[in-house]
Structure 1
């Protein structure tokens, strides 16, 4: 009983000091909530939020029917927000970073694309200039895919319909001239002969429909080639639908709680420099009791902060915790890592000033590589493997497992085990150093 009383008194004293420190509460509770809200909105937000359309510029210099239909198709694409500009305006906005991509449909593109659809002996292909921000290469690839779909559908509709007879006749003249020396051109000529007959039949049918007042070949003229499949996207997880805020709250919580561990270690160093540590150890209290008291109080504070942070996430952003036991396991595991990290700083630090700089740098490295700012699955594969040596990676993966992944306690068990291992490692090194240095 005599050993427990001072231990509980030390823990109670640390908890009261922390709760009464309004600056610490603001830093370790309000700041992670604010930053998590910002990062969560950047990475998809809640499952009910929609991905915003991509802003692109469009320069239409081609007045042909094909060029106009391509432009209209891009404007109708729901994933794009198109702004028509002059070519100079488009270049300027891309240079300034105001647009990711600008598409130019040059004069004569429609007619040239119609002629180049089946290649021909010369194989001349018109070019579509695309101006893009070099930092937005991923957006460029997406726009290229949508542009390809629109061009193929529009040009094939123009060529296959009766209105494409003149283009086919022109290609036949070129192909027949090359056929004596090019077997491939002869085969293409056979295909174009069949296409010409089909177009002539359509022209007769269209003329008859026009005479009787029917719509002339509407289906064929507006059809053309299209993608021969449609995708059905279905997000799968064991728990609730993906919520980007769940990951960001875990990441920011891990970061700022580590900062709290730094403050605990720095406070111990300051106490040693001021002589408070020696006076405390001069009382009938063992070194183990003092160190254990600091570790337990830091653990309790860290668990309380994590619970408060995720409570804010649940109430404000709809984050769901699928397994309370799994969440508490990860929270306690990481809280012990935080406490042992603070002891490590206090044990090996020379001065508060020097220790703070090194500890902050080490913490930033851990949180960045652990996936607190950017999810670790975005990292290259080698980096994803390398970051497994970071306790922060296991903590964030554990919080993901018990929130939006819905994996429960079993899914979080590996993270909990590894976190406890890091806590034992850090704590063991700190205690060994304290013991070697004696009573301060």
Structure 2
């Protein structure tokens, strides 16, 4: 054990004496994360259908048509839910937005088109990290509501009833508005005309928007003040540059094998497994410390809040183990330092991109989002997001920790097997 600890201590001393490595793995991710966090205050939803939860409380014929129109929109991926499920889904990030169609909405919206009555509101529960999605969904929702409500008002049974009610209210309140009265009379006359297939009336003019929305961003815990774009940015850049450190560790092992240092280590009273695992432990410690230092800057300088310190520590330890195991994998299967560096850097960039480090994963097509579930960096970033701006507790980070440790174990076992096979 003394020899094992000495190997770990040696690796730590060598790493921290390399100022260029510290600059690459600690300073650069902080600088780039600050830049991306300041540039991207949110996201968009290009490339795939927006995940939308629909809480349909208005079960009228018009309400059903609004819901059907939303489900048929190719830009939306609508999932019916109840209100409690929708709130939980948006809060956890599995749904970008939830539309709550309240009971009696369609009739109230129709009434609001021809009166000064208060407009009914559609509550929208949205993920604060995706403000652009909120604007897009509002536009699609407006299109569906206007199509259904205007069609109902100018030809449906609800429209005839509301037209008569509006005329009665004008008479009861003695409202002197000849233009509105003439328009309502004309609408009643239009509605009484026999309908023929393919008949099409002119679009009405001067109608007010028949509804409003009530927007509620959902987060939890101490970050309920709102979404901080720096949180995701620091997660992405931290993961990327720390993985680069793991690659450099693997390349260093290949260089040691080529220079003969590896053989001298194995000539000492230590086993091959001890040498490999000692290198992995030292790299895991360095990766864990780097991630903590990066987020310390994020907390102190950019007001990123950590909702669960145990959850963050768990994700950081899991990612540290993954980084070390990935470096061991590079060293075990790399033929030469030069060839291994190019392939490892390419693999790292692919993992970082698919993991949502550069741009949030919801911007990807649906099939790519499903594909990224087998990419370990996706879980690392999801875990860090969960315990920072999403405001979730340590339990929400446990799936990410488990997956990261699983990948780390898999990579380590494969690396040790490869080293032993080559040594035999």
Shift of 1:352: 0.3
Deviation sequence 1:127-148 (CA, Å, 0-9, x none): xxxxxxxxx9x9999999999x
1:323 is the counterpart of 2:305: no
Following the alignment from structure 1 to structure 2, what is the Cα–Cα distance between the partners of residues 28 and 363?
A: 14
Give the corresponding residue for 1:386.
371
Counterpart-to-counterpart distance in 1, 2:142 and 2:360: 28
Aligned positions of 1:297-376 closer than 5 A:
297-376=282-361
- Quote the Cα distance in structure 1 between the aligned partners of 2:179 and 2:36: 53
In 2, Cα distance between the equivalents of 1:351 and 1:250? 31
State the 1:42 CA deviation.
2.9
Residues 1:391 and 1:143: Cα distance change in structure 2 (over 3 Å): closer
Q: Does 1:236 align with 2:199?
A: no
Matches of 1:30 and 1:428, distance apart in 2: 32
Q: Provide the residue aligned with 1:6 in structure 2.
A: 3
Write the distance in 2 (CA, Å) between the matches of 1:374 and 1:301: 26
Tell me, what secondary structure is at the counterpart of 2:270? coil
CA distance in 2, matches of 1:338, 1:29: 15
Hey, what does 2:38 align to over in structure 1?
41
Pairing partner for 2:382 from 381, 389, 397: 397
Shift of 1:354: 0.2
Alignment correspondent of 1:18: 15
Residues 251 and 142 of structure 1: CA distance in aligned 2, closer, same or farther (over 3 Å) = same
- Inter-partner Cα distance in structure 2 for 1:409 and 1:365: 28
After superposition, the Cα gap between the structure-2 partners of 1:402 and 1:142, relative to the gap in structure 1 and judged at 3 Å, is closer
The CA distance in 1 between the partners of 2:235 and 2:136, in whole Å, is: 32
Unaligned runs of 5+ in 1: 46-135, 148-160, 165-170, 176-181, 196-222
Equivalent-residue separation in structure 1 for 2:336 and 2:267 (angstroms): 22
Between the two structures, name the one with larger relative contact order (CA 8 Å, sep ≥ 6).
2
Aligned to 2:152: none
Offset of residue 162 of structure 1:
8.0
SS in 2 for 1:332: helix
Q: Distance in 2 between matches of 1:399 and 1:35?
A: 18
The Cα of 1:317 is off from its aligned counterpart by: 1.0
Q: Which runs of 5+ in 2 are unaligned?
A: 43-131, 144-176, 181-185
Instruction: Give the TM-score taking structure 1 as reference length.
Output: 0.60
Whole-Å Cα distance in 1 between the matches of residues 285 and 377 of structure 2? 19
Partner of residue 404, structure 2: 419
The one of 245, 259, 264 equivalent to 1:274 is 259
Quick one: distance in 2 between partners of 1:141 and 1:389?
29
Q: 2:29 aligns with which of 24, 28, 32?
A: 32
1:231 aligns to what SS in structure 2? strand
Give, in whole Å, the separation in 2 of the partners of 1:246 and 1:139: 22
CA RMSD of aligned residues (A): 3.7
Would you say how many aligned residue pairs link Structure 1 and Structure 2? 297
What does residue range 25-424 of structure 1 map to in structure 2 within 5 Å?
A: 25-44=22-41, 224-239=206-221, 240-241=223-224, 242-424=227-409
Cα 1:243–1:139 shift into 2, 3 Å? closer
Q: Distance in 1 between matches of 2:411 and 2:136?
A: 47
Report deviation, 1:245.
Answer: 0.9
Greater C-alpha Rg: 1
Relative to the length of structure 2, the TM-score reads 0.62
Instruction: Tell me the secondary structure at the aligned position of residue 216 of structure 2.
Output: coil
Query: Relative to structure 1, is the Cα distance of residues 306 and 227 closer, same or farther in structure 2, using a 3 angstrom cutoff?
Result: same
User: Over residues 172-216 of structure 1, what are the superposed CA-to-partner deviations in whole Å (9 max), with x where a residue is unaligned?
Assistant: xxx9xxxxxx9569xx9xx9xxx9xxxxxxxxxxxxxxxxxxxxx
d(CA) in 2 for partners of 1:371, 1:267? 28
Q: 1:140 to 1:395 in 2, by over 3 A?
A: closer
CA distance in 1 between counterparts of 2:307 and 2:208 reads 43
